Amino acid sequence: MTIAMLSMTMTFAENENAANVNNVEAYDMSVNIRKLGEALGLTFDQMEAVENIHNTFNAEMLFAAQANTDDRKAMVDKAVDKDIKWMHYVLDEKQYRKYLLLLNVTLQNRGLR
């Protein structure tokens, strides 16, 4: 009986850890900035700004992944809102529309929207 309980507890813990790992992976927004720059047609100056903005966004998303489930959605929404506001400042309209498309598809594919 004790062995069965221990086995069930360990299995539950493993599944919980696997869920947490998968959860964190979904919130990891790391991208190849060079490829993003090519896709958006960024200038050299834009590349640097986009990289800085994206690094902040990625850090905020990873922080949200570690947050309490009740707070997570609000943290993601805040990170996304800040990201698109800053990107809109740096990108021209055509680049911005394409960025929004890429971001929305990524968030939807990861189950975050």
DSSP secondary structure string, the chain? -HHHHHHHHHHHHHHHHHHHHHHHHHH-----HHHHHHHHT--HHHHHHHHHHHHHHHHHHHHHHHS-HHHHHHHHHHHHHHHHHHHHHHS-HHHHHHHHHHHHHHHHHTT--
The band of 20, judged by pLDDT with boundaries at 50, 70 and 90, is very low
- What number of other Cβ atoms are within 10 A of residue 34's Cβ? 11
Question: Across the chain, what does the average pLDDT equal?
Answer: 83
Q: Is 19 a residue whose pLDDT tops 60? A: no
pLDDT for 14 equals 45
The band of 22, judged by pLDDT with boundaries at 50, 70 and 90, is low
Domain ranges of the chain: 2-109
- What number of other Cβ atoms are within 10 A of residue 33's Cβ? 16
